[in-house]
């Protein structure tokens, strides 16, 4: 018995060590995910098991060989210590998440406390079992297409109001396995309890159905949501897409393809708007060319998987296809907001992939991006209802609420106040003087004026507006936009001065997208002949 306890204790020691520092070579790389995941997500249970093993040995009869008993106690103590550290890391994730979400200069998000959860109670977190709410209605296996796996589930409460926001969740599984009922449950249950409608779909799997069957099916599902989710109480104009691992890849690619018909099934008709309000990518495969600059040693394995089982075409002969399916290579100016959550110890999707995606998104897109990097965290951390999962769930909820929050209406009085005159629009020209906008257009040429101050006409303090202004300036610099400073001054004194930027040599569409990204009702389109006020949502002139 002593040798059995010693062997099991040694295994638990190896497991906890793998969770804290996963191997990257040989057999240690193969064990890193299955062993490290279990140890990293169930440390409290590991402490209980280790205590039970030592207790069993004590009951059975402590070994008479002194060195054997000493080794058992020593290893058991290390096991308990390592797992206490893992428990502390899980709880510390709450601080990591709050800090990451609050540091976005454009729109910091305050993450609620555990007591504010609608479903994630302390005892559910202690058990870590993803129970579903008792009052949750599950509508199973609704057909959204002709294939056998073209089935979706709808989750909601009997009390879910009409026109509820929708979260569309896409399961992972290396594009080759997985089911809509297996993943993301702790997060989705919280959304359901908060009055959201959840849609989770199956999609065709490789290698039986190679790429692009997977993205075509999730795109078809989005088309179904746009056409029919209102029948189940959902609002088709308030959709947030999410997924984990391969599902995170599909969710990101779907969110970035609103204006790209490449992956749309040709038989889906009657959908004019393919956009989503935002994307939540959990440890997603956000780059699919296998570039080792991002993958740090894991790119070769990804290539083997994609070439042999998913795409079933070589990268060398189909590089453009691999770039088309790579979210990192599809980031564009008017991409929707993103929340990217990634584990620092992920041995299936290297953390540098998420970091590089966020950097590229910040450089190329105009929308907000939030990035949460969880220390000592393995792939698929959200399968259990742990303290870490409850923290990332609160981040997901805060993000989803921020991108689906009702947009204030633009009143006729506010439209009239935007006009110049009565507002005085001044521009800083090359000589350093401030001149009226019409005169500035004669010197600089036509331009658009966008401000970051007072989002949706909600008056902020000088410090908050200053941070937003700095963020707008940074966005313009990253996009290489030539700009000069502007001030909009309300001569009546009813509205504070708003600082902005005159964008030189930029399209009307870019100015519209930028104004939307910074939550502005309108922007100015200035020429030598007129100062026009244009709606940020569609670019139409407001009169």
- Tens digit of each residue's pLDDT (9 = 90 or more) over 438-475: 999 999 999 999 999 999 988 999 999 999 999 999 99
| 417 shares a domain with 342 | no
- Exactly one of 245, 390, 451, 536 is catalytic; which is it? 245
| 30 shares a domain with 10 | yes
Question: Rounded distance, CA 374 to CA 378, Å?
Answer: 9
Residue 209: its pLDDT value, please?
98
Final residue in a domain of this structure, among 96, 111, 145: 96
**CATH number (domain holding residue 199):** 3.40.50.1820
128 part of a folded domain: no
131 part of a folded domain: no
49 part of a folded domain: yes
CA angle 173, 371, 191 (to 5 degrees): 65
| 202 shares a domain with 319 | yes
114 part of a folded domain: no
Final residue in a domain of this structure, among 349, 380, 404: 404
Residue 194: its pLDDT value, please?
95
The answer to whether 208 touches 281, Cβ cutoff 8 Å, is: no
Q: Is 90 part of the annotated catalytic residue set?
A: no
- Exactly one of 217, 235, 346, 350 is catalytic; which is it? 346
| 431 shares a domain with 395 | no
- The 8-class DSSP code of residue 172 comes to -
Q: Is 245 part of the annotated catalytic residue set?
A: yes
Residue 58: its pLDDT value, please?
86
| 363 shares a domain with 257 | yes
Residue 26: its pLDDT value, please?
66
Structural domain boundaries, residue 80? 2-96
- Exactly one of 171, 189, 294, 379 is catalytic; which is it? 379
Residue 164: its pLDDT value, please?
97
| 351 shares a domain with 264 | yes
Residue 123: its pLDDT value, please?
66
Question: Rounded distance, CA 519 to CA 512, Å?
Answer: 11
| 438 shares a domain with 346 | no
Residue 415: its pLDDT value, please?
84
| 434 shares a domain with 326 | no
Q: Is the pTM of this model over 0.75?
A: yes
Query: Of all helices (H) and strands (E), which one includes residue 515?
Result: helix 508-517
Q: Are strands 234-244 and 164-170 parallel, antiparallel or unpaired?
A: parallel
| 15 shares a domain with 81 | yes
30 part of a folded domain: yes
Q: Which residues contact 472 (CB under 8 A, 6 or more apart)?
A: 450, 451, 452, 500, 501, 514, 518
104 part of a folded domain: no
Final residue in a domain of this structure, among 404, 421, 442: 404
| 419 shares a domain with 378 | no
- Tens digit of each residue's pLDDT (9 = 90 or more) over 73-84: 999 999 999 999
Stretches where the chain sits below pLDDT 70 are: 26-27, 122-123, 126-127
The SS3 of residue 402 is helix
Question: Rounded distance, CA 120 to CA 538, Å?
Answer: 40
Total structural domains within the chain:
3
| 58 shares a domain with 83 | yes
103 part of a folded domain: no
Q: Is 209 part of the annotated catalytic residue set?
A: no
| 374 shares a domain with 230 | yes
73, 76, 77, 78 alpha-carbon torsion, rounded to 10° = 130
Question: Rounded distance, CA 117 to CA 123, Å?
Answer: 13
116 part of a folded domain: no
């Amino acid at each position: 018995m002593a040798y059995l306890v010693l062997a099991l204790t040694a295994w638990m020691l190896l497991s906890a060590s793998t969770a804290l520092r996963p191997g990257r070579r040989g057999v240690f790389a193969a064990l890193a995910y299955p062993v490290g995941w279990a140890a990293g997500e169930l440390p409290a249970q590991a402490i209980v098991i280790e205590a039970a093993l030592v207790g069993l040995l004590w009951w059975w009869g402590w070994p008479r060989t002194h060195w054997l008993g000493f080794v058992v106690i020593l290893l058991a103590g290390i096991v308990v210590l390592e797992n206490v550290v893992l428990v502390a890391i899980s709880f510390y994730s709450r601080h990591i998440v709050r800090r990451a979400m609050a540091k976005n200069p454009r729109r910091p998000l305050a993450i609620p406390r555990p007591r504010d959860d609608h479903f994630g109670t302390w005892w559910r977190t202690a058990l870590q079992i993803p129970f579903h709410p008792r009052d949750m209605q599950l509508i199973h296996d609704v057909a959204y297409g002709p294939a056998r796996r073209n089935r979706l589930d709808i989750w909601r409460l009997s009390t879910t109001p009409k026109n509820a926001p929708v979260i569309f969740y896409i399961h992972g599984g290396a594009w080759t396995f997985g089911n809509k009922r297996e993943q993301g449950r702790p997060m989705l249950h919280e959304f359901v309890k908060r009055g959201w409608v959840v849609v989770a779909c199956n999609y065709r799997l490789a290698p039986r159905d190679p790429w692009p069957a997977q993205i075509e099916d999730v795109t078809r599902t989005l088309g179904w949501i746009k056409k029919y989710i209102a029948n189940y109480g959902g609002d088709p104009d308030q959709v947030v897409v999410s997924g984990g691992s391969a599902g995170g890849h599909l969710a990101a690619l779907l969110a970035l393809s609103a204006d790209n018909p490449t992956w749309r099934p040709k038989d889906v008709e009657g959908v004019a708007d393919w956009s989503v309000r935002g994307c939540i990518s959990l440890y997603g495969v956000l780059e699919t060319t296998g570039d080792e600059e991002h993958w740090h040693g894991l790119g070769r394995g990804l290539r083997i998987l994609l070439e042999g089982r998913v795409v079933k075409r070589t990268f060398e002969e189909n590089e453009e296809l691999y770039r088309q399916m790579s979210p990192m290579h599809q980031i564009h100016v008017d991409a929707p907001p993103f929340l990217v959550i990634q584990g620092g110890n992920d041995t299936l999707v290297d953390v540098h992939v998420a970091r590089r995606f966020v950097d590229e998104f910040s450089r190329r897109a105009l929308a907000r991006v939030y990035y949460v990097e969880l220390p000592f965290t393995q792939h698929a951390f959200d399968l259990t209802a742990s303290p870490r999962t409850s923290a990332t769930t609160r981040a997901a909820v805060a993000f989803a609420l921020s991108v689906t929050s009702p947009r204030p209406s633009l009143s006729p009085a506010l439209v009239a106040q935007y006009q110049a005159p009565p507002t005085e629009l001044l521009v800083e020209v090359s000589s350093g003087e401030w001149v009226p906008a019409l005169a500035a257009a004669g010197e600089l040429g036509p331009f658009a004026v966008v401000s970051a101050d007072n989002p949706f006409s909600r008056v902020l303090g000088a410090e908050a507006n200053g941070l937003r202004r700095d963020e707008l300036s940074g966005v313009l610099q990253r996009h290489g936009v030539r700009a000069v400073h502007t001030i909009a001054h309300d001569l009546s004194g009813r509205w504070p001065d708003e600082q902005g930027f005159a964008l030189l040599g930029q399209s009307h569409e870019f100015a519209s997208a930028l104004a939307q990204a910074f939550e502005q009702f309108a922007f100015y389109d200035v020429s030598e002949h007129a100062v026009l006020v244009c709606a940020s949502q569609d670019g139409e002139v407001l009169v």
